[in-house]
Amino acid sequence: MTHDPVIEALLGALTADPANHPVRAHVARLLLDAGRPDEALANATAVLGAVPDHVEALRTAAAAASALGDEARAASYGRLADALDPADPPPAAKPATPQPVTPQPVTPTPASVAPHTAASAVPDTADEIFQQWSESEPLAEPAIGTLGQAGLTLADVGGLADVKKRLDLSFLTPLRNPELRMEFGKSLRGGLLLWGPPGCGKTFIARALAGELGASFYEIGLSDVLDMWIGSSERNLRSIFDTARRNRPCLLFFDEMDALGQKRSSCAAAGRPCAVS
DSSP annotation string for 97-128 = PP------------TTHHHHHHHHTS--SHHH
pLDDT at position 178 is: 77
Closest CA to 172 of 180, 185, 257: 180
12: which strand partners?
Answer: none
In the CATH scheme, what is the homologous superfamily, with its name and number, of domain 146-276?
P-loop containing nucleotide triphosphate hydrolases (3.40.50.300)
* 209 contacts: CB under 8 Å, gap ≥ 6: 154, 167, 171, 172, 192, 251, 276
Q: What sign has the CA pseudo-torsion 76, 77, 81, 86?
A: negative
6-10, 144-148, 259-263: lowest mean pLDDT where? 259-263
* Position 134 confidence tier, pLDDT thresholds 50, 70, 90: low
Q: What are the angstrom distances between the C-alpha of 109 and each of 80, 113, 117, 122?
A: 48, 7, 11, 21
Read off the pTM: 0.42
In the CATH scheme, what is the homologous superfamily, with its name and number, of domain 5-84?
Tetratricopeptide repeat domain (1.25.40.10)
Q: Give the model confidence (pLDDT) of 164-209 as tens digits.
A: 888 887 778 777 777 877 777 776 666 778 888 888 888 888 888 8
Would you list the domain boundaries of the chain? 5-84, 146-276
Closest CA to 35 of 70, 71, 7: 7
Instruction: For residue 171, give the DSSP letter.
Output: I
Q: What are phi and psi of 96, to 5 degrees?
A: -80, 160
- Per DSSP bridges, beta strands 250-254 and 216-220 are parallel
Amino acid letter for position 190 = G
Q: Give the model confidence (pLDDT) of 62-73 as tens digits.
A: 999 999 988 888
Mean pLDDT of the chain: 75
